[in-house]
Amino acid sequence: MGAREFLGMPLEEAISTQRAIRRFKLEPVDDDLVLHLIELALKAPTGGNAQNWEFIIVKDAQVKARLAALNRQAWRIYRGISRRSTAKTDQSTLRMLEAADWLASHLHETPVLVVACLKGVIPPWPPFATASLYASIFPAVQNLLLAARAAGLGAVLTTLPLWSRFLARRALGLPWNVTPSAVVPLGWPIGRYGPTRRRPVEGGRLPGSLRESRVPLETKPQITRSCRRIRALGVWPSSAQLMRTRLTHIVGLRTHGFCGEPLLLRCLRPWTFRNFSLVNSQSTALQLAFQVV
C-alpha cells in the first residue's frame, strides 16, 4: 500500500481524535510514509513565506540514544514536580504521567524521531520576535501530528530533549545557526486514539475573545520618560526620531491581523526605535504606531 493511500481520514475526524500517543510498537515505519507526512507538514504557513525550517528524520540508534539521554535528564525534574503537584485522585493526569514515564524509558526504541528546526538563532528578546519565529514552525508541527493521525501512526510533541540547545545541536550534529524547536516521536501506537476531552466553548464564544477585550486606541495611556511623551497615533515617525528616541516601558503596535487593535509590547530595558524597527522588519504584519510630541 502506498504512502498516500493511508491518508483518507476526514479532516474533522483527524482533528477530533488526534491526541498524544507516547507508547509505540517496535515495528518500523516506511520511509516513504514519513517523507509524505513531512511533505504535508510543509504546507503550513510560515512568516513572510520564508520557509525557514528544517525537518530532521532520526533513525540512527546512537543519535536516538543521545536525545533519549537528554530527555531523561529533563524528565526526572519535571516528573518530580508534576507528581508532587498532582492530586492522587486526578487519575487523568496520573495516567498521562505514566505514559510520559514510559516514553522517557523507551524513547531510544521509537522507530522514528522527527526534529523540527528553524534556520537561524532565536533571540530571547523582544518577546514578539521570539513568538514570530516559533509561529513559523509550530503550525507545521501540528500539520505533522494531524497527518500522522490520518495515517494511523502514533505521535506526540515534546520539547524535553531540547532543554539545552547546545547539547541538542551537538547530539544532532547541527550547526550553531540551526535551532531545534520540537521533537515528534513517530511509530505504530500501542493502544488506540480516541476523542479528546476539552472544556466546551462557553455560550457560543471563546472566553476573553477579542470582541470582549477591545480597547479604543484613544484610551491608551500616554507613557512619559525624560519629558518625552509617546502617543499611539498609528503613524510612522521620522527617521530622525527613530534614531534619537529611546523607550523604557511600552511601544504601541498595531496589527492588521487583529482588526487594527492596539497591542502593547513590554520592553525590559531602554531600546532605540531604530534597532527595534530592524527586528520588527522580519514581520510584515506589524506596524509601529507612535509619535513623539
Judge whether residue 280 has pLDDT over 50: no
Same domain, yes or no, for 179 and 265? no
Give the integer Cα–Cα distance in Å for 188 and 111: 9
Same domain, yes or no, for 172 and 276? no
Same domain, yes or no, for 56 and 104? yes
Is 224 inside any structural domain?
yes
pTM for the full predicted model: 0.67
Same domain, yes or no, for 118 and 164? yes
Residue 188 near residue 24, CB atoms below 8 Å = yes
Is 200 inside any structural domain?
no
CA distances from 108 to 24, 161, 197, 214, 267 (A): 11, 12, 29, 48, 42
**How confident is the model at residue 5, as a pLDDT?**
54
Per-residue pLDDT tens over the stretch 204-242: 555 554 444 444 444 444 444 433 433 343 444 444 443
Same domain, yes or no, for 158 and 232? no
Same domain, yes or no, for 241 and 113? no
Count the domains in the chain. Answer: 2
Same domain, yes or no, for 32 and 94? yes
CA distances from 182 to 16, 187, 239 (A): 22, 17, 39
**How confident is the model at residue 120, as a pLDDT?**
85
Question: Of 279, 100, 45, which Cα lies nearest the Cα of 288?
Answer: 279
**How confident is the model at residue 158, as a pLDDT?**
96
Of the chain, the percentage scoring pLDDT greater than 70 comes to 66
Q: What is the arithmetic mean of pLDDT over 133-149?
A: 95
**How confident is the model at residue 3, as a pLDDT?**
53
Same domain, yes or no, for 147 and 105? yes
Give the integer Cα–Cα distance in Å for 69 and 59: 16
Query: How many CA atoms are closer than 13 Å to the CA of 224, on its beta-carbon side?
Result: 1
Same domain, yes or no, for 44 and 151? yes
Higher pLDDT, residue 47 or 3? 47
The mean pLDDT of the chain is: 75
* Residue tagged 509505540 (cell numbers): 24
**How confident is the model at residue 104, as a pLDDT?**
95
Per-residue pLDDT tens over the stretch 49-73: 989 999 999 999 999 999 999 999 9
Is 197 inside any structural domain?
no
Is 125 inside any structural domain?
yes
Residue type, 165: R
Same domain, yes or no, for 22 and 127? yes
Residue 126: asked if its preceding bond is cis (omega within 30°), the reply is yes
- Domain holding 84, by residue range, is 8-187
Q: What would the grid cell of residue 62 be?
A: 546512537
Residue type, 128: F
Higher pLDDT, residue 253 or 210? 210
Same domain, yes or no, for 139 and 258? no
Is 196 inside any structural domain?
no
Sign of the CA dihedral running 274, 278, 281, 285:
negative
Residue 17 near residue 196, CB atoms below 8 Å = yes
Same domain, yes or no, for 13 and 147? yes
